[in-house]
Chain A
Amino acid sequence: MTDLESFRSDTRAWLEANCPPEMREPIRSDADMCWGGRNWTFQSDAQRLWLERMVQRGWTTPHWPKDYGGGGLSPGEAKVLKEEMARIGARQPLYSFGISMLGPALLKFGSEEQKKRFLPEIARGEIRWCQGYSEPGAGSDLAGLQTKAEDKGDHWLVNGQKVWTSYADKADWIFCLVRTSTESKHQGISFLLFDMATPGVSTKPILLISGNSPFCETFFDDVQVPKDQVVGEVNRGWDVAKYLLGHEREMIAGMGLGGTSGTLGAALKPDDPLLRAEVAVFDVDSIAFAAMSERFFEMFKAGEAHPASPSMMKYAGTELNKRRHELVMAAGGSDALEWDSDRSKNGKAARDWLRTKANSIEGGTSEIQLNIVAKHILGLPGA
């Protein structure tokens, strides 16, 4: 038996013994997803146990080094773990921007002290993070951000406003882009970490067209931040931000896959011949995109992908996901328009459909992705 085969059988046995049956049920609502953090209330003992057991093995972050609370698994072992969890339908024990976004940035740009301080508490789900990027005047032109951090000798003094901060009202800490110099647009930005409980931080949820409020406006009014909480060099935060956006785009591009294995047509069974034809066009595009995703991740791992290719994937994946939900709504007819009935699971189809409209805006609009592809991949000249 190879090492990987024995790892698989050990993992399978461990999961069988340790993953509570309730945690093998499909996710039905947001409450089924564990986000952790200081104020988290576990939905059930099973949810708590499952997180604790996975944390103990470092398997909330299987490929991070053990020194930082990770599992220290090789890419092959991490893949086996993922496959074995999928085999029994195990839920992800922890949903976390700390794991998916801040962690990779800290691993690449953070000081040893910062890694030791922040990564283990991310892996254990003790601190819930949010991302402070966009501002009212800095959306697509993100580097035009104005929130400023002034060097006051023993601390940074932060003033300004962020917007579209996901779950800021529930987060414990924020990783935030701030202006530390006005001399250069891109090289005057720093990547700052601070506690949301610091005096001067306030949040206000934004009600969206879906009727939900996953995003907030976040205000900073004379917020004092310790000097050692800048990641990377002062004024070089844009490098960290770009690196992180690449990760975010990959994650959002994954939405194009729709999360199910069958075709959309198989799920919708469209009987109208014209709708059937449109669904078939979609299924062709969707299966082709799945082949692209597979190839993209292989190429990315092998270092053969163009550095700007996540932009292409993000654009294609999100536009595809919007089309998927348009077709779901078309096939659902008037049933899909119900907003508050039990029959419609509280308007799930309509709310999901509206949510997807943000896919091609968040993490850089489709138009920005096309600009990036045109400039960096096709080499077309600037305006």
Chain B
Amino acid sequence: MALLTDDQKMLQETAASFLREEGSIAKQLRHWRDSGCTDGYGTDFWKQFAELGLTGICVPEDQGGLGLGSVEAALVLEEIGRNLTPSPFLTTAVVGARAIEGTSHAERWYPGILSGETVLALAIDESRRHAPEQTALSAERRGNGFVLNGDKQFVVHGNSADMVLTLARTAGSPGDREGLTLFAVPKGAAEVDSVTLADSSKAARIKFDNVELDADAVVGDVDNGWGPLSRALNAGRAGAAAELVGVAAGATAMTIDYLKQRKQFGKLIGQFQSLQHRAAHLYGEIEIARAASLKAAELIDSGDEKAELMVAVAKAKAAAVSKLAVQEGVQMHGGIGMTDEHDIGLYMKREAVLGELFGDVYHHRNTVAELSGY
């Protein structure tokens, strides 16, 4: 991993101060949660992302974006994770933008992404576990288009999305990587059932009951959806890993502050070696997870053939480390950590959702084993 360039450090600083000030837990997560917001994030706040140019981070320069890569997206996502900032940044500006890059859908959706008016979502999962090749939702040719039948779940921001990128089977059977096609499904075409998740974010279960789409709804090529899907998923998994690193770092910073304030037995609890060693171990693990996450982003950006392996390593490592961080965080806070009033528990809930998104630790450990030939 090369060191960050001056431009990257500047972007990191911009994102850090914007999210610390405007994206704080009090201003965003708690505010929208407690006011019963149906989107789970502020739409005006999403426009502020656009004003800073951040929504166009992965959009090519000749199409009005910043034309940057996964490393830059990771820097922003770590700050999002640190502040638990709810926004459709990952699904729209990273996954969505990458999925439609170079296709006919780019022209249609990039302007809205750049102005902060468009939200995209990705619909893959059909059961409680992430397994893209097991996709069964069918897309049958009819006339000039397709008819879709089946169900999707865990579609993050699927309720507020203007377009849902939906993985469907046009040939073969569940288990095959061939015969999959990615469709751009516009808002209103399918039946969306909004669900609030443990971290107060919104996802959707979507029912496709004879949903008719034109042929131009296809993203990329029919039966060859695995390519654009992998591109989008690599970006999404590396992005989720970076956000998890931020969640871990945010929770741990809060916990270490607490170790320096809380007194018991007439001592600061941070003086106890049992807690010092656990905190020091955690610090090292977070550094390692960050290095893995940045390395994965770097390999994606350089088109390296090892990118897929490194992305799986990064997602598995970041999720495991983040889980350790939030568990230690709640435990070291003691009773106050169990209250809704304290923020540390919010980190635990966010970790659970991000850890599951685009494949959990078991999924990615298995990928590492398979790609290594065992």
From the candidates A262, A304, A309, A370, name the one contacting B3 in the complex (CB within 8 A): A304
Within 8 Å CB of A1, what residues of B? none
From the candidates A283, A295, A374, name the one contacting B369 in the complex (CB within 8 A): A283
Identify which of B97-105, B184-192, B231-239, B309-317 touches chain A. B309-317
- Beta-carbon contact of A383 and B317 below 8 Å: no
Interface centre among A266, A280, A296, A381, by most chain B C-beta atoms within 10 angstroms, is: A280
Whether, in the assembled complex, B52 has its beta carbon less than 8 Å from a beta carbon of chain A, the answer is no
A304→B260 CA distance, assembly (Å): 26
Q: Which residue on chain B has the smallest CB distance to residue A271?
A: B374
Contact with A along B304-332 (1 / 0, CB 8 A): 00000110111011001000000000000
User: Do A265 and B277 contact each other (CB < 8 Å), given the known contacts A284-B317, A287-B368, A291-B295?
Assistant: no
Within 8 Å CB of B291, what residues of A? 288, 291-292, 294-296
Chain B interface helix/strand/loop/mixed: helix
- Beta-carbon contact of B277 and A380 below 8 Å: no
Distance of A283 from chain B, by nearest CB (Å): 5
From the candidates A268, A288, A298, A370, name the one contacting B2 in the complex (CB within 8 A): A298
- Beta-carbon contact of B369 and A279 below 8 Å: yes
Interface centre among A287, A289, A304, by most chain B C-beta atoms within 10 angstroms, is: A287
Whether, in the assembled complex, A299 has its beta carbon less than 8 Å from a beta carbon of chain B, the answer is yes
Whether, in the assembled complex, A31 has its beta carbon less than 8 Å from a beta carbon of chain B, the answer is no
Whether, in the assembled complex, A367 has its beta carbon less than 8 Å from a beta carbon of chain B, the answer is yes
Within 8 Å CB of A379, what residues of B? 256, 260
A316→B312 CA distance, assembly (Å): 21
A178→B290 CA distance, assembly (Å): 41
Whether, in the assembled complex, A197 has its beta carbon less than 8 Å from a beta carbon of chain B, the answer is no
User: Do A378 and B292 contact each other (CB < 8 Å), given the known contacts A287-B310, A287-B313?
Assistant: no
A292→B279 CA distance, assembly (Å): 19
- Beta-carbon contact of A270 and B276 below 8 Å: no
A291→B307 CA distance, assembly (Å): 13
- Beta-carbon contact of A380 and B316 below 8 Å: no
User: Do A374 and B279 contact each other (CB < 8 Å), given the known contacts A283-B372, A288-B313, A288-B314?
Assistant: yes
Whether, in the assembled complex, A210 has its beta carbon less than 8 Å from a beta carbon of chain B, the answer is no
User: Do A373 and B364 contact each other (CB < 8 Å), given the known contacts A289-B288, A294-B295, A299-B3?
Assistant: no
Q: Which residues of B are in contact with A by a Cβ distance under 8 Å?
A: 1-3, 256, 259-260, 268, 270-273, 276-277, 279-281, 283-285, 287-289, 291-292, 294-295, 309-310, 312-314, 316-317, 320, 364-366, 368-369, 372-374
Excluding A277-B365, A284-B312, 10 further A-B contacts by CB distance (< 8 Å) are A279-B369, A285-B288, A288-B317, A291-B310, A292-B287, A369-B280, A374-B279, A378-B256, A379-B260, A381-B271
Q: Which residues of A are in contact with B by a Cβ distance under 8 Å?
A: 262-263, 265-266, 268-270, 276-277, 279-281, 283-285, 287-289, 291-292, 294-296, 298-299, 302, 304, 309, 312, 315-316, 367, 369-371, 373-375, 377-383
Top 10 A-B residue pairs of the complex, sorted by shortest distance between their CB atoms:
A374-B276, A288-B292, A373-B280, A291-B295, A292-B291, A280-B365, A265-B374, A370-B280, A263-B372, A288-B317
